[in-house]
Structure 1
């Protein structure tokens, strides 16, 4: 398990570094968009390459920062059940989800996205719009992004098993959606108007 945890830390370090770097591309995309809008309005000029560059920058951030988001447990969850479950049960659910949903999904996407990119690269696919960008670099982001997500899913599975077996502490315990939702429920119960002298907090107890 120590070797696997070392592998997990290495994967985390790589995806964290990549995520932090590509997050700056959001600012670049904003600047490109603003510059393109100003030039179009002031000089009545426009370029398809500028428009497509915005899309590519968004794709870079979306695909290459997704593993970092998974690492920090920041993906949006609509959770009305599991936050009430015991910690060990939640960990078991996460292990099940990684093994039977996330990992198979990333594998399917890799298998389908790789020929999608290779075909585009082999013909040096260009934009259908005049003056647009080559298409294969953007399509390359799909298998690359899911490859990084696959490795991050492996890392999360290793950590979740280690947490489940008591080898390490959960770095996200007390953070994220579970704690926020539980705190919000407690706040709403505390603020609720009493009915016949009985408060919502009394009912919860």
Structure 2
């Protein structure tokens, strides 16, 4: 079990790092959308590439951050039912869910998603829209995202079994941590302060 808990901590760390940086794609998507709107209004011109890169970025953020979302227990749960169970009952519901639902679904999507990505990569498939982008980068988000989600599901499964054995504290207990949005705002603030300090030193 100690080895499995080390694996779980490693998976948690990977998805925590992914979540820390993937949120910047939301900001990038927003900036691209805003610039595209301004250019279209002011200069009456646009490109399908600008439109497609927005949903490429959003798709990457949505899929790749799925494991991070599970790590922080932000997926939708049927609390109306689970809240009526004891803590051990809730843990067993999670164990059954991770084992018999999450893992098979992720494996099925990977079974079809990896060949789908490889086909697009080998063929150099392009968008059907004029000025559109190559497709394989967004296709790659499918196997990447569901691999991270499945690994996080296994990590959560390990933690819940360890909890039932009395090895660790309750893994479902919410911890007082900053949200991803708060971390992004903090990162932007630090960057702005660093640029301001650099400007003062240059003067």
Aligned partners of 2:159 and 2:171 also within 8 Å: no
Give the aligned partner of residue 64 of structure 2. Answer: 64
1:97-136 matches, within 5 Å, as 97-136=97-136
Alpha-carbon distance between aligned partners in 2 of 1:8 and 1:147, rounded to the nearest angstrom:
14
Partner of 2:143: 143
Partners of 2:163 and 2:171 within 8 A in 1 = no
- Deviation beyond 3 Å, 4+ runs, structure 1: none
Q: Which whole-Å CA distance do the structure 2 matches of 1:171 and 1:90 have between them? A: 12
Mind listing any 5+ residue stretches in structure 1 that lack a counterpart? 177-205
Answer with 1 or 2: which has the greater Rg: 1
Paired residue secondary structure (2:28): helix
Matches of 2:145 and 2:81, distance apart in 1: 31
Q: Please give the alpha-carbon distance, in whole angstroms, between the structure 2 residues aligned to 1:174 and 1:111.
A: 34
| Maintained 8 Å contact 1:92/1:164 | no
Q: Report the Cα offset of residue 166 of structure 1.
A: 1.5
Q: Name the counterpart of 1:91.
A: 91
- Contact in 1 for aligned 2:63/2:145 (Cα 8 Å): yes
TM-score normalised by structure 2 residue count: 0.84
SS at match of 1:80: helix
Q: Cα offset for 1:175?
A: 6.5
Question: Distance between the aligned counterparts of 1:174 and 1:14, measured in 2?
Answer: 20
Report the Cα distance in structure 1 between the residues aligned to 2:156 and 2:95, rounded to whole angstroms. 9
Asked if the contact 1:49–1:132 (Cα under 8 Å) also holds between the matched residues in 2, the reply is: yes
- Name which of structure 1's ranges 76-85 and 31-40 shifts more when overlaid on structure 2: 76-85
Give CA deviations for 1:4-52 in whole Å, capped at 9, x if unaligned. 1011000100111011101111111100000000000110011100000
Look up the match of 1:202. Answer: none
The two structures have a TM-score, normalised by structure 1, of 0.83
Partner of 1:182: none
Give the distance between the partners of 1:110 and 1:45, measured in 2 at CA. Answer: 39
